Chain A
């Protein structure tokens, strides 16, 4: 047994949940009562509901979701602006449910190709004109009602002809959804007012790659996004809230001499643009990226390996989001086409006993990092709640929208969707907590110890990852694939750490969980966009560094292309004295 210091690492999350105020950029004196959109949605919903109540198949529930997306998108490459656009779209989704809570038109139709069954997004006017909005709501309600009644018939037929379902829970849960919540509207011009200045800044960042002969793609981009979400329901819900973020990304790709593409990313996210890092800080990171890419080019290619590894906080967060988080989203425990990995594991140990996992949309910060997955109410009008998914290693709960599963009849405010899509249970801010932690150096020492025990010459350290994708279905192997970018070998014999390239992380989920040995007393957040059935939603995943007894890697499939045959034109041009483009 090895001695290790046991510091209790239990973050004060509630303190981290700082209130971000947007008072300076919100329109003054605006309330729900004089918000044209919410009032029009409310009155039209009431009118439609009254009229449809007298039909032979009346709706038992109706709601309107309107998503108003304002975006600014700037792309620069090698110091030049490639794109600088702004758009605004308002999208409507009408959810009409006929039947009852136990069986309605949204029920899964087994053995069918049901891709288009549940409604589609409609573009509606973005101007606050009550008459045109009402007409759009009216026509879409009509179309949705027709589709709902037709589908309920199919659902009933399907239920009659197929064997009894395993999960007998209903289709929609009752919820305390008469919530009223209002945030004033924010317009892009006041939220993001330095477009020209940002174009220059981004051009400066990407210009640092000019003259780097081995870097073939270099971009600095910015996305500023305001998504204003409106929700009204026949249960009395009435919500208007804003999701804001500005993200700066630096992306560069080098190529090794054998043709392997080596991408490197750096992204910065903040609720308000002024909270993004300074010019100096970002430029410093760009210089580091250039140096790292050069190191990566000369790094050896990984050979297939199975052995101990350390995952830094960011990669560990992605790892948990992909292999764990997606599998505790309720839908995957109900849909017969899904793997249902955790269905029978409630109350059982799925992680080491020193670990907790929770998901909390109320969190706005982790250390000093803004968390992208924050919201107050979900897209089904339910207050976002902290869900303790795992406590002391034992699986306790699932992430729930209003689609119940056996034993979990209620929503915990995780019904989320991209505007225009029907909400499903999704992650928000996933946080992995270790109650026993060690300093990183100790984690490293433990890794070396484990290498010796297993007779491995080295272990791996995953410092950065790109994100990942997960296959949770029944018909495809239940595996995950996180895409590592920066991976080092840590040698057991004390040689210096060595950067390697071409690493693909593979494995099966359940096995991987059992192999977590220890956690660091650090923490890191990965902010990103997560795509699934209900579209793209902003999420975060935070975790301490983790030591894993065994992780399996394979060699990344490399691009078959060689290096460009001719040198970059920078070189060709720099041999001339004047650059006519800049003259």
Chain B
């Protein structure tokens, strides 16, 4: 059995006392819970029994989701705040389906109105515990949806009269039933002090000023505390807290010789503020990032064509697995005529592995499980935990996605696909999002990637060098940071960079490992995406890391370049891919380095 190694942060976190004084932040009260739930229940009951109109098709399913969210959003640059906002919002979303499970108004996109902005009513709810006010908003949304669903349903039927449905979709139901559940998790009170956090963010951001080579940098922190209710006409009545704490550090410089822009970012996520890195830890991280960036400024360009083994360490290993494997393990419904609508908007992302169902995608020694009902592990609150998904379905305690390398099933919502018909409780919304922002899409929760024949960490480099030598190279390649592909105002990353990101792996910290053990940092390389053949050959380290992180959801839909869900990845600390193509990133014109010297 592989030995479980704690993520270094976690050790620190458990032993170092929390450095900021804690202030209890108000969470939804019992009264709020009662009023919101009663308003939802009463309006749903009324809609279910009374919402009919001659000539229109009746709804058979209605679901209401409501969320109350408080969000603290801080950002600073070089020691001063650029942003400090505290928002409180309540929003609802309604799902209403006509006719029956087998054939309803969904899974059909009317091409004519595709880019029309919907005129759906405002989904903001009163922040007061206003029973009638909440019902009024739900009432108008339900009414609006009932009418638009009927419109869509008649268009869908009309389209079917003129066009043949793809054969394998003919008998596929539009929506899967789910058992009624009743789960009520209490709200979580978060402890934090806004002023102290502002000071921390400022101080951490100021640390970059000690490194004049860093041209731009920012530190941001968001704490989101939500409470969510879902009820539906199947009898489900559930509520749960959703919290997310996130720190993001970004820094930017340019290569001294040719001006190549170099971005480095680090993201830390936790379920509660106490499990975020401490200020001391963050200051160390800033210094480490600055050191890496300064080294990169004068690092030589990668100038070879390399086809051989690549070792991904730590963050890079987690990013490699999540982007190239985990976030591809979903199945999303194609529309009526076999068009994969989600694929159109995911051109910058890796595609679903659904075509590979029941075939081998990983080494025969590897299994991948999802353990989304697990709350804690090694003292860390797992971010990927949830008691039920955003369609009110409880995920299995242990979902086997890959067994002995064979892809067994995929993450599913309640919309059946030709690959998998049954829901498995993995319809998930964006991390930190609110109802109505995006639709829930099939995505991971807590993923465990286990290799029964791992290599000890100490042996990984030896293995790398040996394989490289067999391929005719006198060095191997190590990657320690991959570009996360999230552009921000501060980083100055272009849209081109963003779109290019899905087509190759862009390593930021990439090293040549020489036989004598020395490492040489290089820059300007890109790594071709791994094929299934490459995934089948992945070598794992024996040491495992439990890591809270944001993982790309399969399909985020329109206008969402990089939808992410709150997740946990339990996976080998390092992995080695034996045969990747590494080459010089081509065709780029770099901006000139600053003409004017940095101010003192």
Contacts and interface: CB of A to CB of B under 8 A. Distances in A.
A124 B218 CA distance: 10
Contacts of A44: 599
Contact of A51 (B50, B89, B146, B596): B596
B127 A569 contact: no
A52 B595 contact: yes
Nearest to B125: A82
Contacts of B489: 122-123
A87 B85 contact: yes
A31 to B, nearest CB: 22
Nearest to B217: A135
B216 interface: yes
B78 interface: yes
Interface stretch (A471-479, A488-496, A515-523, A560-568): A560-568
A414 B45 CA distance: 58
Interface in A68-109: 75, 77-90
B43 interface: yes
A309 to B, nearest CB: 30
Nearest to A43: B599
B136 A569 contact: yes
Contacts of A579: 131-132
B136 A570 contact: yes
Interface stretch (B137-145, B187-195, B272-280, B439-447): B137-145
Contacts of B131: 573, 579-582
Nearest to B202: A127
A127 B80 contact: yes
Contacts of B51: 565-566
A354 B82 CA distance: 53
Interface in A100-133: 122-127, 129, 131-133
A131 to B, nearest CB: 7
B39 interface: yes
A564 B140 contact: yes
Contacts of B591: 143, 146
B110 to A, nearest CB: 14
A123 B250 CA distance: 15
B177 interface: no
A138 B598 contact: yes
B130 interface: yes
A80 B133 contact: yes
A303 interface: no
B158 interface: no
B124 interface: yes
A47 B38 contact: no
Contacts of A131: 78-79, 209
A78 B78 contact: no
Contact of B127 (A83, A132, A562, A582): A83
Contact of A132 (B80, B88, B122, B143): B80
A450 to B, nearest CB: 39
Contact of B139 (A47, A55, A87, A568): A568
A195 to B, nearest CB: 13
B492 A123 contact: no
A188 to B, nearest CB: 13
A126 B202 CA distance: 12
Given A125-B76, A135-B78, A79 B133 contact: yes
Nearest to B139: A569
A134 interface: yes
A579 B52 CA distance: 26
B167 interface: no
Contact of B46 (A90, A124, A135, A572): A572
A51 B595 contact: yes
B116 interface: no
B128 interface: yes
Nearest to A82: B124
Given A89-B83, A569-B139, A581 B125 contact: no
A572 B38 CA distance: 14
Nearest to A137: B599
Nearest to B85: A87
Given A48-B596, A566-B46, A123 B82 contact: yes
Contact of A126 (B82, B140, B492): B82
A577 to B, nearest CB: 14
B197 interface: no
Given A124-B82, A132-B79, A581 B599 contact: no
Nearest to A141: B596
A132 B77 contact: yes
Given A138-B598, A561-B147, A127 B81 contact: yes
A210 B131 CA distance: 13
A580 B596 contact: no
Given A81-B128, A568-B139, A570-B136, A136 B78 contact: yes
B124 to A, nearest CB: 5
B126 A80 contact: yes
A142 B80 contact: no
Interface in A361-376: none
A342 interface: no
A126 B126 contact: no
Interface string A539-583: 000000000000000000001011011101110110000011110
A56 to B, nearest CB: 11
Interface string B584-600: 00000001101111110
Nearest to A80: B126
B377 interface: no
A573 B85 contact: no
Max chain B Cβ within 10 angstroms of own Cβ: one of A82, A127, A573: A82
A496 B274 CA distance: 72
A47 B76 CA distance: 25
A134 B209 CA distance: 12
B496 to A, nearest CB: 12
Contacts of B474: none
A265 interface: no
B163 interface: no
A126 B75 CA distance: 11
Given A79-B130, A80-B128, A581-B132, A133 B80 contact: yes
Contacts of B77: 124-125, 132, 135-136
A143 B490 CA distance: 12
Nearest to B135: A569
A526 interface: no
A82 B126 contact: yes
Interface in B208-267: 209, 215-216
A123 B78 CA distance: 13
A572 B598 CA distance: 67
Contacts of A139: 215-216, 594
B139 A566 contact: yes
A216 interface: yes
Nearest to A48: B596
B35 interface: yes
B129 interface: yes
Interface string A262-296: 00000000000000000000000000000000000
Contacts of B490: 123
A191 interface: no
A231 interface: no
Closest 6 CB pairs between A and B?
A581-B131, A125-B80, A80-B126, A569-B135, A132-B78, A132-B80
23 contacts: A48-B596, A51-B596, A82-B125, A83-B88, A83-B124, A84-B88, A84-B127, A89-B83, A124-B77, A125-B76, A126-B80, A126-B81, A135-B209, A139-B216, A141-B596, A561-B147, A564-B143, A565-B146, A566-B50, A568-B139, A569-B42, A573-B132, A580-B38
Interface of A: 44, 47-48, 51-52, 55, 75, 77-90, 122-127, 129, 131-136, 138-139, 141-143, 145-146, 210, 216-217, 559, 561-562, 564-566, 568-570, 572-573, 579-582
Given A82-B125, A562-B147, 17 more contacts: A47-B596, A80-B127, A85-B86, A88-B84, A123-B489, A123-B490, A124-B82, A125-B82, A127-B81, A131-B78, A132-B80, A133-B80, A143-B492, A216-B140, A217-B122, A580-B131, A581-B35
